[in-house]
Chain A
Amino acid sequence: MPELKKNASIEVDLRDYTFDGADAPDLPDLSQVSEADRQQLRMAGVDVDEADRSGTFLQFDQSRVHCRTRNPDVEILGIEAALERYQGLPDYYWKALDPDKDDFTRQTAKEVHGGYFIRTKKGAVIPHPVQSCLYIKGKDVAQAVHNVVVVEEDSEVHIITGCATAHGVQSALHLGISEFYVKKNGRLTFTMVHNWGEQVAVRPRTAVHVEENGAFVSNYILLKPVRTVQSYPAVYLNGPGGLARFNSVIVAPEGSHVDTGNKIILNAPNTRGEIISKTITTGGTIIARGFIGGNAVPARGHLECKGLILGQGVIHAIPELVGSVPGVELSHEAAVGKIAREEIEYLMARGLDEEEATSTIVRGFLNVDIMGLPRELQESIEKTIHESEKDMF
C-alpha cells in the first residue's frame, strides 16, 4: 500500500545514525574549504567570500570548523564555548524549549555537538548579516546542534543560516535546537535556506521569545529535495507591541515529505503576527501548518497559506486560529490547487506560449522580494528556482 510506504519513509530512527566522532580541524578562513563544498554552501546561501557579512559560524558534521566575528558589536561563539564562558547560559539554555519534548530534544539534551551562540551588544544595529552554516559531510551522520541567539535591547541583526549536505552524502540526520531571545525594541531577522539531500532527515525544534516592541522576522526557503523535514517554530510575543512575521517558500519534488509550519502566540496587547507560506509540490507531500493564538487585546494575526500542485503531489494545509479573549482579530486565507487558467490565458493573450506563461506565474509565486534579502542571496535563490523549473512541469 502506497500510504504505508509513505509513512515508513518519514520515520526517523536515531539508531540508524552515528552521533560521535568526525573531529574536523579548525579552518582559519573559508578559502580552505574545498571547491565542491563551497559550491554546496553557496547554494545554501552562504557567502563564502564573507564580503558583506558581519561574521561567520561554520560547522561540519559535529564539529565547529570556523567561527569568527568581524564586528565587535556581535559575539559569535560555539555553543560549548558559550556554555563555559557564561556558566551554562542559565537564562537561555533550554529555557524556551523543553528538553523532554520528544526523542530529538532528548537526544540533543543528552549529547550536544556544536551549534552557535550569537549575541548582539545592547543598542547595536549590525549592518551586515551574520551567517551560519551547518554542513553534513559524512555518511549516516547525525548532527545534533543547539543554537542560542540573544538580541539585546534596541539592537538589530540579520542571521542567515544555510543548511546543506556535501555532494554525494546519501543519508544523514540533522537535529537542531534553536532558542532565540529578542529583548525590548530588538529586531531579529532570521533567514534559513535548506539545501539538504534526497536521503536526509531534518528535525529542528525552534522557539523564540520576544519582549516589548521587539520583532522577529523569519524567512524560510526550501527548494531542494529532502527525505523528510518536520519543523514548527513557535514565537511567543510576550511584551506589548511585539511583531512576528514568517515568510516561507517551499518546493517538494517527488520523494520529499515536508511537514512544516509556524506558530505565533500573541500574549500581550498591541502585538501582531503574520504567516505567509507559499508551497509547490511537484510530486512530494507538503503539510503546511499555521497557528496563531490570540491571548490579549488588541492583537491582530493573519495567516496566508497558498499551495500549488504541479504533478502528482499532495498539499495538506492546516491553518489554525485560536482566540481566547474577546476582541482579538485573527484571520486566515488558504488555497490549494492548480494555476488559475485565467492567469495563464491572460499571459497567452500577451503572446506567451503556455509553458512561458506557466513558468512566469510559478516564478512570481515563488518570488522572494518580500524577504528583503541581500542581493547575491536573492540572485542565488532565483537561479535555483530557474534550475529546478525543468522538473516542475
Chain B
Amino acid sequence: MLKIDNLHVRVGGREVLKGIDLKIEDGETFILFGPNGSGKTTLLMTLMGFSGYEVTRGTIHFRGQDITGMPTFERSRLGLAMSFQRPPTIYGLKTRHLVQMCARDRDVDIVHMARQVNFEPFLDRDINAGFSGGEIKRSELLQLMAQDPSLVLFDEPESGVDLENMKLIGGVVRKLLQGGIEPREDASMKELKAKVKTSGLIITHTGYILDYINADRGHVMYDGVLCCQARPRDILEHISKFGYKECVRCLN
C-alpha cells in the first residue's frame, strides 16, 4: 500500500525527517508514537504533499506509484486521505457541500453517513466554524467516509475529545479501517462484500484509540528517525514506564 524509502524532509530550512523507511501493507494499521516535535505530523503532511514540506531525498510509493512529487489532489484521488488536527474554517462552505465534493462522482447518502458520526445537525453549518474538538473529529471522519480511501492518515484521533465521543470516534475509525462504512442505507450485499480493508497510519500520544482498533505494528519516531518497532501495546507500556528517553538509548 505505502512504501517510504530513505525519506528526508526539510521544513523552513531545517531537516525534520532524517531518513525514514516504512512499509504499510494492504489492510494494515500502523501506529506512530513519539514526543512532540519529533516529526510525526511532518511525515503525514509530506505524505499528503503539502507546501512547505520539501523532500530532499528519498521516495514515497503509494499503491505502486511514485507519488513523491505528485500534487495533493492527485494523491487524494488515488485513495490517500488525511484527518486534520486543526482544519481551517472556510466560511460560506457548508459541511454538506464539502462532504459531497469529497465523494466526487460516487453515489453517497450524506445524511445516512452523517448519522453514523452523529453529525446530521452540522451539515448546514460552515465547515469547521466554531466546531469543538470532538466536532472537528466527527466532521473529518465524515469527510473520510465520503472519500472512501485506501489509506487513511490520522493525526491524534483522540486529542480534544471527551470519553463519550471517544467511543463514537473509535467505533467509526474501526469501521472505516475494516471497510464497514456503507455509503448508502440500501448498499447491496455485493457492494459491501467487495469492500477491502483500508490501511491506516495513526499518530497517537495516549493510545486510547488502541482500545477500538486492531493495530498490527508500531514505531516510535524520535528526532526525525524511526526506532523501536514493536507491537503498539508494548510500545505504549514501555513509554509510560520509561518515557521516550529509552528510545534514544535504543537508537544507539
Contacts and interface: CB of A to CB of B under 8 A. Distances in A.
Contacts of A360: 90, 93, 101
A349 B101 contact: no
A361 B101 contact: no
Interface in A346-390: 346-354, 356-357, 360-361, 363-367, 369
Main secondary structure of the interface of B (DSSP, over half): mixed
Interface in B103-161: 104, 126, 143, 147
B82 interface: yes
Q: Looking at chain A's contact residues, is the secondary structure mostly helix, strand, loop, or mixed?
A: helix
B126 to A, nearest CB: 7
A74 B143 CA distance: 49
B38 to A, nearest CB: 22
A364 B94 CA distance: 8
B12 interface: no
Interface residues of B, number: 24
Contacts of B48: 345, 349
A345 B75 CA distance: 12
Interface string A308-348: 00000000000000000000000000000000111101111
B98 A350 contact: yes
B126 A351 contact: no
Contacts of A340: 88
Given A349-B81, A351-B102, A351-B104, A361 B76 contact: no
B76 A341 contact: no
Given A360-B101, A364-B126, A351 B77 contact: yes
B73 A352 contact: yes
B101 A352 contact: yes
A345 B51 contact: yes
Contacts of B98: 347, 350
B229 to A, nearest CB: 28
Given A348-B76, A350-B143, A353-B73, A369 B92 contact: yes
Contact of B72 (A349, A356, A361): A349
B50 A365 contact: no
A367 B97 CA distance: 13
B84 interface: yes
B242 interface: no
Contacts of B93: 360-361, 363-364, 367
B92 A351 contact: no
Given A341-B51, A353-B73, A346 B92 contact: no
B91 A365 contact: yes
B96 to A, nearest CB: 13
B51 A351 contact: no
Nearest to A357: B73
Contacts of A367: 91-93
B51 A366 contact: no
Contacts of B92: 363-367, 369
A360 to B, nearest CB: 6
B102 A350 contact: yes
Interface of B: 48, 50-51, 71-73, 76-77, 81-82, 84, 87-88, 90-93, 98, 101-102, 104, 126, 143, 147
6 contacts: A345-B50, A348-B73, A349-B72, A349-B73, A350-B143, A367-B91
What are the 5 tightest A-B residue pairs by CB atom distance, in nearest-first order? Answer: A364-B92, A367-B92, A364-B93, A348-B72, A351-B76
